[in-house]
Amino acid sequence: MNELKDKVIVISGGTKGVGRTMAEECAIRGAKVVIGGRDEAAAKRSLRLIRSYGSEGIFVHTELSRVEDCRALLDCAYERYGKVNGLFNYAGITPISPLDSCDVDTFDAVMDINFRAAFFCCQQAIKYMRMSGGGSIVLTGSAHAWGGQKDRAAYACSKGVLRTLMEHIAHNYAEENIRCNYLTLGWTPTEGEVALRKTQGETEKELRERAADILPMHRMCERTDYVEAIVYLLSDASSMMTGSTFRITAGEYI
């Protein structure tokens, strides 16, 4: 359980869902963890757990619609720990946004959080990874990037462009030992997904039942289903792997 020993891992959206699970898991695997997000109470709960595992971490209040906050997330990591070895870019929003009715504000919000913030977090991560002898970036993808459902046009595009960002980083920074891979997550009952479905009148139980009917493997992905893959991508075990798309989606292929 020491795959990430002495590494400094930054997680955007480390307060919820897979981001929160990974903040805690990275600490269990020996990393110092920098949690980005806006929910300070959630981050404090994770930091207490992280300390109880004998590791340490910090919370950086990050409003990702502000580019200065994207930069500050990585700046704080480097100032506190003197290096940055990994970035798990998890934060994202998934509003309903069909092409024929998506308004400009929704489009801008999706692109600002899902793409622009990722772009500038990666820019700053590369700056510090270069000073740290290299590093690994994991971008959070979605099956929507390959077509996607009609009600998520802007979201689908934002996840498609992240794939291009991954390819660009992998292609241009390998010689500096900076890697980037794209992890496609499956349908997962995170806080964000459950809240979205609630606005559509669906409870978590109903969501799980509906998803089980639709998904080839007859259950939603759980946060824990991603842990080993993300640890692998952030660790030296994957040191020769860059430019890959990883898919953990219970067979879902939209």
Ligand X SMILES: NC(=O)c1ccc[n+]([C@@H]2O[C@H](COP(=O)([O-])OP(=O)(O)OC[C@H]3O[C@@H](n4cnc5c(N)ncnc54)[C@H](OP(=O)(O)O)[C@@H]3O)[C@@H](O)[C@H]2O)c1
**Footprint of ligand X on this chain (CB under 6 A)?**
13, 15-17, 19, 37-39, 62-65, 90-94, 113, 140, 142, 185, 187-188, 190-193
Give residue 58's identity as a one-letter amino acid code. Answer: I
Cα separation, 183 vs 246, whole angstroms: 5
CB-based closest residue to ligand X: 17
Cβ distance to ligand X smaller for residue 50 or 132: 50
**CB of 240: closest distance to ligand X in angstroms?**
26
Cβ distance to ligand X smaller for residue 128 or 226: 226
Cβ distance to ligand X smaller for residue 134 or 192: 192
Burial of 6 (0-12, 13-18, 19+ CB in 10 A): exposed
CB under 8 Å to 128, separation ≥6 — which residues? 74, 77, 78, 83, 84, 135
**CB of 13: closest distance to ligand X in angstroms?**
3
**CB of 61: closest distance to ligand X in angstroms?**
9
- DSSP letter, residue 113: I
Cβ distance to ligand X smaller for residue 28 or 64: 64
- DSSP letter, residue 66: S
**CB of 2: closest distance to ligand X in angstroms?**
26
Cβ distance to ligand X smaller for residue 58 or 93: 93
Cβ distance to ligand X smaller for residue 132 or 142: 142
**CB of 135: closest distance to ligand X in angstroms?**
20
Cα separation, 225 vs 219, whole angstroms: 12
**CB of 39: closest distance to ligand X in angstroms?**
3
Query: What DSSP string describes 123-192?
Result: HHHHHHHHHTT-EEEEEEEEGGGGS--TTBHHHHHHHHHHHHHHHHHHHHHGGGTEEEEEEEE-----HH
